[in-house]
Structure 1
Amino acid sequence: MNKLTIYQVDAFTDQVFGGNPAAVCVLSNWLSDNLMQNIAAENNLAETAFVVKDGHQFLIRWFTPTTEVDLCGHATLAAAFVLEKYFHPEISQLEFYSHRSGILPVHYQNGVFTLDFPTDVLVEIECPQPLTQIFGSSIIQCLKGKTDYLLIFKNQEEVALADPNFNELAKVNCRGVIISAPGEEVDFVSRFFAPQVGVNEDPVTGSAHTTLIPYWSKQLGKKKLTAQQISKRGGSLWVEDMGERVKISGKAVLYLEGTIFY
């Protein structure tokens, strides 16, 4: 019987039961892909992050309950929280490396973790008919990033009231769909749906903000912005457009520490 410590962290919040929960496993060596996928499925969270220290870097991979993904913000933040709290409290700058997304620095200061992620590349397109049928007349602009669609709505209320058919949404060829609008108390709000990868609605999605930040920075004419993902759990982010990179900042809190037996 093998044992493995697991941490569950609520990211992009300073309150337990808020933000986006992610599981984190810090390994001495990689487990098999099949075992990591099984652990992620058993956890049944939007993401489980696995981390292996390699010199000055921390190699990182992310799994949903059904598949490995290219990039995940909230689970990276959660992994940084675990490393800072339990393993390397002396380090204020962590350097993650993903074989799918490259170098991903995370800076820690005064309880806030700042992710340094590559900016998404956006192209405005005519909205695909399936998305028009699912979201209706709320859509005023449609853009496509590397993996996701970004749909712009008129106002925050329309984003909050959106109730997509996940069975139909799962048929759309993409990782997920972001919906967004100007915020009432922040610069912009959003929600993120990804039934294609086993997550109907993600509570707070760091990677989606690599798409949202360049869009809203251009629209609002400012580099530093405030954001909220207005899912049921909700989350707050402070973000910055750096050109080819974006900075995504938030807090995190520990919910659970336990042991996996396998």
Structure 2
Amino acid sequence: MKMYVVDAFTDKMFQGNPAAVCFVDVWPDDELMRNIAMENKFSETAFAIRKSDDYYDLRWFTPGGEIDLCGHATLATGYLVFENSAPKEGNSVTFNTQSGELKVTKNGDLYEMEFPSYEIKSVPVTDDMAEAFGIRPVAAYLGRDLLAIFDSEEQIKNMQPNFEKVKQLDGLLQNVTANGEKYDCVSRSFAPKLNVIEDPVCGSGHCHIIPYWAKKLNKNKIVAFQASERTGIIYGDYQNEVTKLAGHAHLYSIGQLNL
């Protein structure tokens, strides 16, 4: 089985979020896909089946199991489709996933994804949140993930969470964000429940983050900076039920799994 590794949401090697992508003819056994993801130790490993030039089935696995939505591995898979077998007509490819059909469109050197926006509801800020993050949020929201709002970019960059306590918080992932200085917002994304301490650049997390800041700043287009150690940039466009996420991608490696 051939496996690609792509750095997503960056145009530079060793930045952004690395995703492994395997193109297969039929789905491997679920246990095998979980084991490959565990062995890779990336936030996500994607598996894709080509149905036609512009239509693929797609699944994502974290080291902790299968997940229902993943941004950076979808971007990485879309990038590889256009690099290796671009659609003969048009500039879009559609992926059939657990979260419905997701489209990736190539716009110049950017790859733009149309994702569902998560509905987030305000929840009380708790002492557990303050203890987990080491800083008390000024507000909190819950969708699929927890979204915690903070006062400053420096708080996000310097945050040293207690991940055992983060794991006990609500939400599949725990995203922290603040208004940015150079960018519209800065964020970090934690996923200890999925055996991922910190997701370097989280696309699905930004389906919470982009809608929040679009409404807060009263603008649809949001440039988001993920302040992980690797860093990454997401160009967001909030369209109510749909959040568009765009970014660059860079091929790191092509290898062969000895299965």
Kept after mapping to 1: 8 A contact 2:112/2:246: yes
Partners of 2:170 and 2:155 in 1: how far apart? 24
Per the alignment, residue 207 of structure 2 pairs with 210
2:60 alignment partner, one of 53, 59, 62: 62
Per the alignment, residue 16 of structure 1 pairs with 13
Kept after mapping to 2: 8 A contact 1:138/1:158: no
Partners of 1:137 and 1:65 in 2: how far apart? 28
- 1:100-115 matches, within 5 Å, as 100-115=98-113
Partners of 2:74 and 2:43 in 1: how far apart? 13
Partners of 1:128 and 1:159 in 2: how far apart? 18
The alignment's C-alpha RMSD in Å is 1.2
* Aligned-residue offset at 1:137: 4.3
- 1:79-228 matches, within 5 Å, as 79-88=77-86, 90=88, 92-98=91-97, 100-145=98-143, 147-228=144-225
Partners of 1:109 and 1:41 in 2: how far apart? 33
Kept after mapping to 2: 8 A contact 1:138/1:154: no
Write the letter of the residue equivalent to 1:97: N
* Aligned-residue offset at 1:172: 2.5
1:11-34: CA deviation from partner (whole Å, max 9, x where unpaired): 000000000000000111111101
Partners of 2:215 and 2:170 in 1: how far apart? 27
Partners of 1:226 and 1:173 in 2: how far apart? 27
Partners of 1:241 and 1:216 in 2: how far apart? 9
Secondary structure (helix, strand or coil) at the match of 1:81 reads helix
Per the alignment, residue 250 of structure 1 pairs with 247
Secondary structure (helix, strand or coil) at the match of 1:38 reads helix
Partners of 1:157 and 1:108 in 2: how far apart? 34
Q: Give every structure 1 segment of 4 or more consecutive aligned residues whose post-TM-superposition deviation is greater than 6 Å.
A: none
Secondary structure (helix, strand or coil) at the match of 2:14 reads coil
TM-score, length basis structure 2: 0.96
Partners of 1:212 and 1:244 in 2: how far apart? 14
> Identity of aligned pairs, percent?
39
User: Structure 2: 5+ residue runs without aligned partners?
Assistant: none
User: Structure 1: 5+ residue runs without aligned partners?
Assistant: none
TM-score, length basis structure 1: 0.95
Partners of 1:128 and 1:144 in 2: how far apart? 13
* Aligned-residue offset at 1:87: 2.4
* Aligned-residue offset at 1:241: 0.6
Kept after mapping to 2: 8 A contact 1:160/1:230: yes
Kept after mapping to 1: 8 A contact 2:180/2:186: yes
* Aligned-residue offset at 1:135: 2.4
Partners of 1:220 and 1:171 in 2: how far apart? 31
* Aligned-residue offset at 1:130: 1.9
Residues 213 and 5 of structure 1, relative CA distance in 2, 3 Å threshold: same
Write the letter of the residue equivalent to 2:203: G
* Aligned-residue offset at 1:171: 2.4
Write the letter of the residue equivalent to 1:141: A
The count of corresponding residues between Structure 1 and Structure 2 is 257
Partners of 1:5 and 1:137 in 2: how far apart? 44
